[in-house]
Chain A
Amino acid sequence: GAGVSQSPSNKVTEKGKDVELRCDPISGHTALYWYRQSLGQGLEFLIYFQGNSAPDKSGLPSDRFSAERTGGSVSTLTIQRTQQEDSAVYLCASSPGTGGRGYGYTFGSGTRLTVV
Chain B
Amino acid sequence: GENVEQHPSTLSVQEGDSAVIKCTYSDSASNYFPWYKQELGKGPQLIIDIRSNVGEKKDQRIAVTLNKTAKHFSLHITETQPEDSAVYFCAATGSGGSYIPTFGRGTSLIVHP
Contact B106 A42 (CB under 8 A): yes
Which residue of A91, A102, A106 is within 8 Å of B32 (Cβ)? A102
CB pair B45 A107 closer than 8 Å: yes
B25 at the interface (CB under 8 A from A): no
Q: Which residues of B contact A48 (CB under 8 A)?
A: 99-100
User: In the complex, are the beta carbons of B43 and A41 less than 8 A apart?
Assistant: no
Bound complex: CA A12 to CA B33 (Å): 35
Chain B: residues with Cβ within 8 Å of the partner, total of: 22
Q: A102-B32, A109-B41 are in contact. Are A43 and B89 (CB under 8 A)?
A: yes
Neighbouring A residues of B41 by C-beta, 8 Å: 109
Please name the residue on chain A nearest to B51 by beta carbon. A102
Query: Contact between A42 and B103 (Cβ–Cβ < 8 Å)?
Result: yes
A105 to B35, CA, bound (A): 10
A43: B residues at CB distance < 8 A: 44, 89, 103
- A interface list, Cβ under 8 A from B: 4, 33, 41-43, 45, 48, 50, 56, 58-59, 91, 93, 98-102, 104-110
